[in-house]
Amino acid sequence: MNSLALYGLRGGAGVTSVVAALGYALHALGQRVLLVDLTGDAMLGLHFNCPVSSLCATDGEALWEIVPGLDVLILGSSPVASSEAKGRSLAEIIAGATAYYDQLLVDAGNAGRAKKLADGMSVGLRQIEVVPVDAAAHVRLYRDYRGQLLLVNNFAPESRLQNDLLMLWQHQPELNLLPVTLHQDEAWNEALACKQPLALARPQSQAAQEIASLAVWCMAQAER
């Protein structure tokens, strides 16, 4: 089983949307996928038409079977649920899920939680930091980078600054940039507004094509 924990370099980086879209794309490629929401606000289910009311009422754990082979697990939407408790729960879940899933995607929310999870896991959990292309991200990246994989998100090619930033990062060999860059695309917003994953709501969008490429990359990692 390929296990990935995604988190944002800062809030609003688009992690939950990427996890939802990537999970759906992997399922479309025939993978059995488990998505786990550790963020505490339980937004992940909204991308799969789960009702807002039921997500808000979820205090402990909730498992949603979206379609056979694609499940969404919400671990504690209550803000008082501690990260450590979630970490223990996730370790147990992963131990049991290995036989049932090909891909595990965790929406870890922030770097601290992702690191704690990875440290507490017996199986390898690769961490992917979702990075917006702006000056503040550049500062944080060059100040705090610790070798994690980087997924550039919401890239606007018409911006001179963003083009310059991306070129700098691509020429910094120490930064582990993923081979796929996700461009700014209104399809992301529209998909959430439709309560559907990206490839279902806007299958012809550039974003959907890029997520499909990322899904292929994930499958290649699983085969290594």
Partner 1 sequence: MNGKDRADSWPVSDVDHLLQEIDMPQLDYQEVAASQRLDSIRQRWPLLDEMLNNSKLNADNGDKA
What is the smallest separation between the CB atom of 135 and partner 1, expressed in angstroms? 6
> Toward partner 1, which CB reaches closer, 172 or 189?
172
Pairing of the two strands 149-153 and 126-132: parallel
The residues pairing with 37 across neighbouring beta strands, listed in sequence order, are: 74, 107
Closer to partner 1 by Cβ: residue 57 or 161: 161
CA neighbor of 153 nearest in space, from 214, 112, 103, 108: 214
| Shortest CB 94 distance to partner 1, Å | 32
Q: Check: CB of residue 198 under 8 Å from CB of residue 20.
A: yes
Q: Are 156 and 34 in contact (CB under 8 A)?
A: no
Nearer Cβ to partner 1, position 46 or 137?
137
Residue type for 100, please? Y
CB of 171 to partner 1, least distance (A): 6
SS3 call for 83: helix
Name the residue nearer to partner 1 (CB basis): 140 or 195: 140
Smallest distance from partner 1 to CB 175, Å: 7
* Rounded Cα distance, 121 and 91, in Å: 6
Nearer to partner 1, 11 or 147 (CB): 147
* CB 112 within 8 Å of CB 11: no
In the bound state with partner 1, the residue whose beta carbon lies nearer, of 9 and 108, is 9
Concatenated DSSP letters of 86-155: HHHHHHHHHHHHTTT-SEEEEEEESHHHHHHHHHT-SS--EEEEEEE-SHHHHHHHHHH--S-EEEEESB
Q: How far is the CB of 19 from partner 1 (least distance, A)?
A: 27
Q: Shortest approach of partner 1 to residue 190 CB, angstroms?
A: 32
> By the criterion CB under 8 A, which residues form the site for partner 1?
135, 138-139, 142-143, 145, 161, 164-165, 167-168, 171-175
